[in-house]
Amino acid sequence: MKQTMKFQREADPEWSERFRTLPGCERISSCIQCGTCSGTCPLSIYMDYTPRKIIALIRAGFREEALSSKTIWLCASCYSCAALCPQQIHITDVMYSLKREAIQAKKYPPRFPIPVLAQEFFNYVKNWGRNAEIPVVLKMALKSNPFILLSMIRSGWGLFRTGRISLKRERIKRTGELQRALSAVKEHSHA
Amino acid sequence: MRESNGAVRVGVYVCHCGSNIGAIVDCKAVAEYAAGLLHVAVARDYKYMCSDPGQELIQKDIEEHKLNRIVVASCSPHLHENTFRVATAKAGLNPYYLTMVNIREHDSWVHTDRAAATEKAKDLVRGAVRRVVLQRPLEKGRVPIDPKVLVVGGGIAGIHAALTLANAGKKVYLVEREPTIGGHMAMFDKTFPTLDCAACILTPKMSTVKNHPNITLWTYSEVESVSGYVGNYDVKVRRRTRYINEDLCSGCQECIAACVFKEPKFPDEFNQRLGKRKPIYLPFPQAVPQTPVIDPETCIEFKTGKCKKTCLEACADRHAIDFKLTDTVEEIRVGTIIVCTGFQAYDARRSPQFGYGIYPNVYTSLEIERLVNAAGPTAGEVVLRDGKTVPRSIGIIHCVGSRDENANRWCSRVCCMYSLKLAHLLKEHTDAEIFNFYIDMRTPGKSFEEFYQRLLNEGVHFIRGKVAEVTDWAADPSEEGKLVLRVEDTLLGVVRRIPVDMVVLSVGLEPHADAQDVRRMFNMTCSNEGFFLERHPKLAPVNTFTDGVFLAGCCQGPKDIPDTVAQAGAAAAEAMALIDAGYVEQEPNVAYVIEEDCSGCKTCIPMCPYSAITFREQDKKAEVNAVLCKGCGTCVAACPSGSIQQRLFEDDELFEELEGVLIHA
């Protein structure tokens, strides 16, 4: 049987405090654990921790659990939770902060496609200035779990047939300037 | 009284206030430093100056060292200036020969550097010593108090305050905006946690008000203006006309029966618009006074002038009905005022996720109060809006509009308990499955927790979580035709969908929309949320910052009936304390005009927040009414020729103090 007790030595209160100073995370301390976020979230039913529990994990300082949860990757940024939260916590921003930290610390679940997708999306846009679904999704599948492509064939073919996705690569002019801008942002965020 | 004939001899007393001051300021060093200042005869430090031994220390020194000026360096004068003035006066010294230095709020509580804080204390004490030398002896003035009281608002707070005062023999004017007194309490069915019938305990008090020889009851009336000052307020009350003469009406209600509208047709405000009334109506059967009202918005005679006026015929010889009646304005003088204007319920339409106004079977708690009431629109039968279906399942959502930064941030304090009460009543009336959705269950009152236990044992479901959405969209065949509440059961950690027939929104309490107008009229202040502010949250909970104006009930903040009644009693006692003293003492720190310097420019007159300055036409000079003046100093600063001075804050005193503070010795 798995033991579920949490020892206080597993908590990182300093991380918790530092996390609450990140932009958008300032009001985490005000959370009254009412569950409005989880109730209104269209994806909470698939999450391992509901958004409310994520807030509780951050406050308790359980960094490991918060960063390696699937929840942060399932968040679709619909902002329903932020709109209804009675304490005006910017929950979507909290999710982004966690995602950012999880990527830096490589804390996401193994072979979990969503962070790979995020990275591939970023790389593609950085290189070409535009998104293209087919190469990005292909890369995501190849780098995480190629079998998920099988489950996408039907809807993929439908989208392709109706012209919603194409094999044509679109690009903007002067991609070099975009890359310079993005690398400036990256430098700044590391400073 | 001992006056300063001869040399000025100052006594300086530095208080440690336990560790409040002593931990940051070296009080001993401050006292030693003060001992060396000019005119200082004695300087001491002591653990608690405000204690009896501390005060006796000052009194003994006045005797032994022939002191004639006292400086106390301690807390804010708001707290203990009076204590030390009384102590000084007891030793035979004029109390205005005392000055206080605030080395707590202004020093030890706001600094962390011990050395610097001690230096600051020395500077402040030096300023005070130089100031106190120049201070003059002053005497308090007295203003008589008119024994009559105005109570504004006829809910349970106003009723209780008025009855308490009237029973003590005071004359009371009770002014109520609605056609009947009773307020929100009259709308409630039962009261928590004892489940007494609200009407059964309220209506006897209402009729006592009506029949009390010491109470003048004016319903359907509003205070229009207030002027004057404590003990002598001049008040104008607009008495809106009901088109029925209250003195002639016998309350037989024949007119209502005779109205050309055979059936009630217009939404009934008292029943939360769930029922209907006629253009001529009595809000509810036990209304006080028992005089109907004609609503000119719906009465055919007012709209077209072509009504058969069957009501007039029914009234026959009494001639109580008169369509030509107009509003009247009464002018009264009272000494004290108790404001009990109550609250308004949160408008649930402001939180659209709960579906109020969208789905017909979403109700507010106040609507349910009327629905379960035997005198309500359905005679106590709990049915849905279609008028016949009895709900089989009901969801009660707590904290609607409360504890929410998007609505009102405060906890409305009574909703948990009234939601439990409604859960019990609905269960009793319908035997439906009842779900309570709460964030935190707050039952901090006598027998409240026991009531919660009772509900738990009655089989009512409690789900900890705030409902995110009320919808009629069915995700499952079992949800067809129902309202579905989507909520995270935070104790289970899963999102649940719960289909119900009826949703009850436990709406919070908020200040009236026109609370700001009332606040201005009575010269009160408001807290952030808009409730009227008491003078001190703990020690002056029914006083306002305006002398002679008191608060009771939910206009001061959400509270339940027992607390409201207790507060109303306290407000009545405070008013009585003023009345029975017969007069109020006035602080002598008022402004006065140096007439030879006044040019009559009138700059000061509109500046005065208390309308205390008048212009004397005969010699074209400004004159300050010492009774009205509160000593705010606005006119002193505004006068272009410097011809207004304020006692206890004379220019020479202030400049001397400033110099003393700023010159490092």
Please report the pLDDT score of residue B2 as a whole number: 40
* Pair type for strands B344-345 and B509-510: antiparallel
Compute the average pLDDT of residues B626-638. Answer: 91
pLDDT, tens digit, 9 for 90 and up, residues A87-106: 999 999 999 999 999 988 98
Domains (range + CATH), chain B: 10-140 (3.40.50), 141-240+327-343+511-582 (3.50.50.60), 254-318 (no CATH), 346-510 (3.50.50.60), 590-646 (3.30.70.20)
Name the minimum distance, in Å, from the CA of A162 to any CA of chain B.
29
Tokens standing for B108? 């030890």
| For residue A147, pLDDT beyond 50 | yes
Cβ–Cβ below 8 Å for A35 and B406: no
Q: Is A17 a residue whose pLDDT tops 50?
A: yes
Question: What tokens appear for B16 in the block?
Answer: 């440690």
* Domains along chain A with CATH numbers: 8-105 (1.10.1060.10), 113-190 (no CATH)
- Residues in chain A with CB shorter than 8 Å from the CB of B435 are none
Phi, psi dihedrals of residue B396, rounded to the nearest 5°: -110, 115
Q: Which of B353, B403, B488 sits opposite A38 (nearest CB)?
A: B488
pLDDT at B543 over 50: yes
For the stretch B497-530, pLDDT in tens is 999 999 999 999 999 999 999 999 998 999 999 9
Chain A closest CA to B466's CA: distance in Å?
A: 5
d(CA A149, CA B161): 77
- Residue in chain B nearest A47 by alpha carbon: B494
3-state SS assignment for residue A53: helix
Contacts of B494 in chain A (CB under 8 A): 50
* Per-residue pLDDT tens over the stretch B477-505: 999 999 999 999 999 999 999 999 999 99
Question: Which residues of chain A neighbour B489 with C-beta distances below 8 Å?
Answer: 35
A·B CB contacts under 8 A = 68
Model pLDDT for residues B202-214, shown as the tens digit of each residue:
999 999 999 999 9
| A32:B440 CB<8 A | yes
Mind telling me how many Å the CA of B109 is from chain A's nearest CA?
26
Amino acid type, B615: F
Distance from CA of B460 to the nearest CA of A (A): 20
> In this structure, is the dihedral angle defined by the CA atoms of residues B411, B414, B417 and B420, taken in order, positive or negative?
negative
ipTM above 0.95 for this complex: no
Q: Which residue has the tokens 């990182």?
A: A12
B465 near B498, Cβ under 8 Å?
Answer: no
Nearest to B405 among A44, A45, A87 (CB): A87
- Partners of residue A50 in chain B, C-beta under 8 Å: 488, 493-495
- Least reliable range by pLDDT among A69-73, A145-149, B356-360, B478-482: A145-149
* Average pLDDT across chain B, whole number: 95
Put simply, the answer to whether B466 touches A45 (Cβ < 8 Å) is: no
When the pLDDT of each residue in chain A is averaged and rounded to a whole number, the result is 91
- Record: contact A88-B440, CB cut-off 8 A: no
Nearest-angstrom CA–CA distance, A52 and A57: 9
User: Cis link prior to B541 (omega < 30° from 0)?
Assistant: no
Contact A39 B468 (CB under 8 A): yes
Strands B336-339 and B149-152: parallel
Percentage, residues of chain A above pLDDT 90: 62
pTM: 0.84
In tens, the pLDDT along B554-588 reads 999 999 999 999 999 999 999 999 999 999 988 89
Contacts of B473 in chain A (CB under 8 A): none
Question: What does the DSSP assignment read for A67-120?
Answer: HT-SHHHH-----HHHHH-TT---HHHHHHHHHHHHHHHT-SPTT-HHHHHHHH
Q: Which distant-in-sequence residues (6+ apart) come within 8 Å of B624 by Cβ?
A: B590, B591, B592, B593, B612, B613, B635, B644
Tokens of B53: 């031994």
